[in-house]
Amino acid sequence: MSLKNQMSIIKNKSQLSLSSADSLTELSPETSDDSMKSLMGDDWTNRQFIEAVTTGIQKITEFLNNFDKSCKSKLAALNQRLTKMEKAITFLETYYSNPQSIDRLRESQKQEA
């Protein structure tokens, strides 16, 4: 079912809820028990529907908040790793841009061998 259809159903249900509530307040003493029960049944059905929609919205909100926290946490960890790598690359670039450093490295490798 498309979002547009779902929204129109919700709109119709809310209008029914309002009209049922209005009907309950406009009841006269002559109103039969059957019509009263029918109106109360409609009102109860509408309240259940609204409760279901509210619960669904709360679950979606909770999921999105948890997803947001998870993404922020993972992005923060990734940012730390990238920062560490950038510092290492900067250090290596600086170290190897100096020719004397390369000579010292070669000498240390010869001494180890």
pLDDT tens per residue, range 9-59: 666 665 654 554 455 455 555 567 888 888 888 999 999 999 999 999 999
Domain membership of residue 87 as a residue range: 34-112
Instruction: Answer whether residue 87 shows pLDDT above 80.
Output: yes
Could you tell me if residue 77 is inside a domain? yes
Could you tell me if residue 23 is inside a domain? no
Cα→Cα distances 4→8, 9, 10, 56, 78, Å: 6, 9, 10, 17, 39
Instruction: Answer whether residue 1 shows pLDDT above 60.
Output: no
Assign 104 a pLDDT band (cuts: 50, 70, 90). confident
Identity of the residue numbered 46: N
Could you tell me if residue 65 is inside a domain? yes
| Residue 35: per-residue pLDDT | 84
CB atoms within 10 A of CB 101: 12
Could you tell me if residue 20 is inside a domain? no
Could you tell me if residue 57 is inside a domain? yes
Could you tell me if residue 29 is inside a domain? no
Average pLDDT, the chain: 81
| Overall number of domains in the chain | 1
Asked if 13 and 46 count as a contact pair (C-beta separation under 8 A), the reply is yes
